[in-house]
């Protein structure tokens, strides 16, 4: 049996690569595993040799100590891999298949899954609807920033790449299908982007850039991306977006300079609960800032997509309300303008097949857009530190040296 190494959260600001058990087709006890999930049989699952696994901004929230994640939690919910072992009950996925793993774990059997709401499956997490790999309060399914990982309900969850050689040639694009590309696209879709829309995206990290790319695919006439970090704004400009530097003030005036009016048709929050103030308050954490500013800049009758992460437990929250996810929102503004809001995990399976086809047909180069940067597993701690500093990169971990 092969050994297995993985990236684990040690404490605020610290991750390390450590030896972990080789996966089994059974959920074992360990850091963050819900006790009701321990011993869960997964003959419907497979073992993957991880080809690529990405560092996500959502991982950074845990690594900063801004969640209730336990020490030694194995990280990683963005996974692409090769099937090396197939469970007894798997019918269609075969050994040797190269597949993308949606970060949502879904059974395919419950009411929500049958309605396409795979981000809130009812059968995979005893604590609440929805589960994910390597994430706090998400059932305890072991993360994929590792050499090997177990994926349950494989026939349902895995997106199979039909041409292995072509997939490996485009692997830095295809690795984005596990989370950020569908998530950003979902933000644009739920914001109501359509041909000709003007769009404002708060946050120029990888999900924000993916949302901008998604808006462009949907036919937006102008996409404006906002951030506090100039290198990230430059990355947005490199894909044809206009930009707003919110360290210089609230976005309305800058939006008006681009569009002639201070409002957009659709808006996306790709920042989440660690938002900072605008203008003179840019260095101060103010978790409701982005949501409130999006209500201000979205035209009446518009919609706001919210793929940015919000949590119910934040030990580092700025006040007691923020520590339990209670933010001071101007709902009166939203009500008066008849705005629509969509929150929650992206149901990746709603989008990943279509986006895969777009990648394989050379309709989109998402890896270039997010500045995909490939590193070996041992460099993951350095990748986390650089990403946390605001680097305009999307780190892709290559545990087995399979990326050309």
CATH number for position 387: 3.90.180.10
For residue 286, give the CATH number of its domain: 3.40.50.720
CB contact at 8 A, 368 and 344: no
User: Which residues have a Cβ under 8 Å from the Cβ of 267 and sit 6 or more positions away?
Assistant: 191, 199, 200, 201, 202, 294, 297, 298, 302, 303, 304, 305
Q: Domain check: are 308 and 186 in the same one? A: yes
Q: Domain check: are 246 and 234 in the same one? A: yes
CB contact at 8 A, 15 and 380: yes
Total domains present in the chain: 2
In sequence order, which ranges of 31-151 are alpha helices (DSSP H)? Answer: 57-63, 111-114
- Residues 128-172 pLDDT 10s: 999 999 999 999 999 999 999 999 999 999 999 999 999 999 999
Nearest-angstrom CA–CA distance, 277 and 130: 31
pLDDT in the model for residue 136:
94
Nearest-angstrom CA–CA distance, 208 and 210: 5
Tell me what the pLDDT averaged over the chain comes to.
96
- Residues 51-61 pLDDT 10s: 999 999 999 99
- Residues 67-114 pLDDT 10s: 999 999 999 999 999 999 999 999 999 999 999 999 999 999 999 999
CB contact at 8 A, 147 and 153: no
Q: Domain check: are 253 and 315 in the same one? A: yes
Nearest-angstrom CA–CA distance, 310 and 213: 23
Nearest-angstrom CA–CA distance, 221 and 346: 24
Looking at 315, 342, 369, the residue that finishes a domain is: 342
Q: Domain check: are 357 and 246 in the same one? A: no
pLDDT at 1 over 70: no
Tokens at 269, concatenated: 């929050």
Tokens at 96, concatenated: 């040797």
404 found inside a domain? no
| Cβ burial, residue 288 (10 Å; 0-12/13-18/19+) | middle
Domain span at residue 305 reads 182-342
DSSP string, 153-204: SHHHH-EE-S-HHHHHHTHHHHGGGGTHHHHHHHHHHHTT--TT-EEEEE--
Strands (E), 180-321: 198-202, 222-227, 242-245, 264-269, 298-305
């Amino acid at each position: 049996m092969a050994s297995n190494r993985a990236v684990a959260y040690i404490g605020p600001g610290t991750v390390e690569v450590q030896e972990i058990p080789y996966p089994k087709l059974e959920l074992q006890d360990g850091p963050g595993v819900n006790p009701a999930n321990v011993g869960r049989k997964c003959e419907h699952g497979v073992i993957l040799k991880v080809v690529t696994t990405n560092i996500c901004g959502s991982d950074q929230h845990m690594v900063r100590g801004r969640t209730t994640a336990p020490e030694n939690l194995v990280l990683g919910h963005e996974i692409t891999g090769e099937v090396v072992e197939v469970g007894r009950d798997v019918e269609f996925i075969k050994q040797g298949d190269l597949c993308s793993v949606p970060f949502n774990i879904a059974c395919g059997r419950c009411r929500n899954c049958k309605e396409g709401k795979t981000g809130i499956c009812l059968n995979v997490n005893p604590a609440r609807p929805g589960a994910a790999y390597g994430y706090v309060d998400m059932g305890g399914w072991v993360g994929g920033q590792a050499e090997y990982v177990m994926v349950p309900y494989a026939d349902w969850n895995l997106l199979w790449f039909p041409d292995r050689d072509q997939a490996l040639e485009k692997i830095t694009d295809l690795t984005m299908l596990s989370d950020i590309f569908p998530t950003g696209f979902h933000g644009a879709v739920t914001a109501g982007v359509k041909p000709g829309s003007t769009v404002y995206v708060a946050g120029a990290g990888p999900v924000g850039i993916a949302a901008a790319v998604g808006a462009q695919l949907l036919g937006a006439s102008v996409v404006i991306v906002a951030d506090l970090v100039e290198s990230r704004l430059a990355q947005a400009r490199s894909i044809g977006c206009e930009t707003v530097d919110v360290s210089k003030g609230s976005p309305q005036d800058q939006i008006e300079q681009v569009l002639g009016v201070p409002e957009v048709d659709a808006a996306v929050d790709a920042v989440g609960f660690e938002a900072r103030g605008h203008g003179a308050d840019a260095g101060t954490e103010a978790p409701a800032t982005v949501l409130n500013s999006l209500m201000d800049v979205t035209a009446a009758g518009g919609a706001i997509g919210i793929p940015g992460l919000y949590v119910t437990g934040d030990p580092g929250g700025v006040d007691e309300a923020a520590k339990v996810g209670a933010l001071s929102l101007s709902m009166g503004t939203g009500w008066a303008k008849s705005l629509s809001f969509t929150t929650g995990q992206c149901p990746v399976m709603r989008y990943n097949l279509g986006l895969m086809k777009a990648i394989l047909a050379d309709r989109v180069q998402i890896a270039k857009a997010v500045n995909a940067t490939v590193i070996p597993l041992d460099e993951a701690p350095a990748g986390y530190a650089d990403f946390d500093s605001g680097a305009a990169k999307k780190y892709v971990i290559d545990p087995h040296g399979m990326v050309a």
